Amino acid sequence: MRKKATISYDPLWKTMRNRGITTYELTVKRHFNKGTLYRLQQGENVNLSTIAELCEILECGIEDVVQIDLDCEK
């Protein structure tokens, strides 16, 4: 039995809501790349340096940005 990792950015959207930061503010005021934001919205992979940048901007830990679930695969 093999485990497959599923990556979710749901914690990111929750953290942004809790801190009152919109995607507009993230891209315009905090100069976060719009293409990277689109990739996050689509659930695509991003570099760990991108996750670190979000943690700095949001002043949070990695668990507040990304969640990794291991699903059993037969």
What is the Cα–Cα distance from 61 to 74, expressed in whole angstroms? 33
Q: What is the pLDDT of residue 73?
A: 57
Does position 71 have pLDDT exceeding 70, yes or no? yes
Q: Using an 8 Å Cβ cutoff, are 62 and 15 in contact?
A: no
Q: What is the pLDDT of residue 8?
A: 95
pLDDT digits (tens, 9 = 90+) for 31-42: 999 999 999 999
Q: Using an 8 Å Cβ cutoff, are 16 and 55 in contact?
A: no
pLDDT digits (tens, 9 = 90+) for 10-66: 999 999 999 999 999 999 999 999 999 999 999 999 999 999 999 999 999 999 999
Task: Write down all domains in the chain, each with its CATH number in brackets.
Answer: 2-73 (1.10.260.40)
- Candidates 56, 29, 27, 59; CA nearest to 40 is 27
Q: What is the pLDDT of residue 37?
A: 97
The identity of residue 66, as a single letter, is V
Q: Using an 8 Å Cβ cutoff, are 45 and 14 in contact?
A: no
